[in-house]
Amino acid sequence: MTATDPLSDIIIDVAHLNFYYGNSQALFDLNLTFPRRQVTALIGPSGCGKSTFLRCLNRMNDLVDVARMEGSIRLDGTEINSGELDVIELRRRVGMVFQKSNPFPKSIYENVIYGLRIAGINDKHVLDETVERSLRGAALWDEVKDRLHESALGMSGGQMQRLCIARAIAVNPEVILMDEPCSALDPKSTARVEDLIKELRDQFTIIIVTHNMQQAARVSDYTAFLFEGLLIEFDKTSKLFVKPRHQQTEDYITGRFG
Ligand SMILES: Nc1ncnc2c1ncn2[C@@H]1O[C@H](COP(=O)(O)OP(=O)(O)OP(=O)(O)O)[C@@H](O)[C@H]1O
């Protein structure tokens, strides 16, 4: 592996990850590393564990009573499930954008700086700067700069999803997890979010769950294919979609099941 190979610069290292909901095992011995400042897509048929895996990466599964995880997930070398990293700091460093946009019933401005307010930051200069930087980063600034203090709930669905991306980047995360971020959007808004993902990759590591294989092929640098809780194949997207190593991957990407 050469020094310029992205796989030589790893931000998240997953080893022997098993995950259970009560007695039912959802993930089986996953071993995978996520390269820094690259987009990795998680694909696979419904129920294969994509969302469960994504939610392990910032401990969102802690909210599920019956959930239990074994194995190791290291963020830049620090075990995320040990006492070394508290969950609030983890979620600042590993942000999340959900399938359905979830703006708060507040102004556009207050939505963006929500994480800063929680952290006790009230300096107007810092907040104004963060709002502009984040909205520009989310390709939304020009559309909303004249109505920052109006309710976010008056925005279109595509704008709301980009607002949620702005809210995620406002706290300077290192990783952004996206769980089917375009599934509720029309084709035009989807194209805007996909363009945005490609732009954000210069600054952030992005891990995206998608059902849409064309989308995975368009936006990601790497792809992981999961099937029934197992990682079947992980490779460069350009390779996995053209010359998969496993029959199951080929069957899935050619639409034979799923
Ligand atoms: N809160 C939960 N409690 C119990 N079982 C769950 C829970 N969430 C998910 N599961 C189960 O875990 C398995 C993996 O689900 P998960 O949602 O991670 O799959 P997925 O690949 O993201 O599916 P989809 O593409 O349909 O969203 C499924 O069998 C699902 O029924």
pTM value is 0.94
Q: According to the model, what pLDDT value does residue 233 have?
A: 97
Does the CB atom of residue 27 touch ligand 1 within 6 A?
Answer: no
Residue 46 CA to ligand 1 center (angstroms) comes to 8
As for the ipTM of the complex, it is 0.97
Q: According to the model, what pLDDT value does residue 184 have?
A: 87
Q: According to the model, what pLDDT value does residue 82 have?
A: 87
Residue 58 CA to ligand 1 center (angstroms) comes to 17
Q: According to the model, what pLDDT value does residue 101 have?
A: 85
Pairing assessment for the beta strands 78-79 and 205-209 based on DSSP bridges? unpaired
Torsion-angle region of 130 (φ positive above 0: left; ψ -120 to 50: alpha; else: beta): alpha
Percent of the chain whose pLDDT exceeds 70:
98
Residue 73 predicted with pLDDT over 60: yes
pLDDT category at 247 given cuts 50, 70, 90 is very high
Residue 1 predicted with pLDDT over 70: no
Summarised one tens digit per residue, pLDDT across range 128-139 is 999 999 999 999
- Over residues 62-90, the mean pLDDT reads 93
91 phi and psi angles, rounded to 5 deg: -75, -20
Summarised one tens digit per residue, pLDDT across range 14-26 is 999 999 999 999 9
Does the CB atom of residue 26 touch ligand 1 within 6 A?
Answer: yes
Summarised one tens digit per residue, pLDDT across range 110-129 is 999 999 998 899 999 999 99
Burial of 245 (0-12, 13-18, 19+ CB in 10 A): exposed
Residue 223 CA to ligand 1 center (angstroms) comes to 20
Does the CB atom of residue 46 touch ligand 1 within 6 A?
Answer: yes
Domains of the chain: 10-254 (3.40.50.300)
Q: According to the model, what pLDDT value does residue 84 have?
A: 85
Tell me the two tokens of residue 235.
Answer: 């490779």
Tell me the two tokens of residue 59.
Answer: 């401990």
Burial of 196 (0-12, 13-18, 19+ CB in 10 A): buried
Contact by Cβ (8 Å): 161, 97 = yes
Distance of CA 182 to the CA centre of its chain: 12
pLDDT category at 166 given cuts 50, 70, 90 is very high
Does the CB atom of residue 130 touch ligand 1 within 6 A?
Answer: no
Does the CB atom of residue 158 touch ligand 1 within 6 A?
Answer: no
Instruction: For a ligand 1 pocket test, name from 28, 48, 98 the mutation site with the most ligand atoms within 8 angstroms of its C-beta.
Output: 48
Residue 255 predicted with pLDDT over 90: no
Does the CB atom of residue 52 touch ligand 1 within 6 A?
Answer: yes
The whole-angstrom separation of Cα 54 and Cα 60 is: 9
Torsion-angle region of 140 (φ positive above 0: left; ψ -120 to 50: alpha; else: beta): alpha
Residue 2 predicted with pLDDT over 70: no
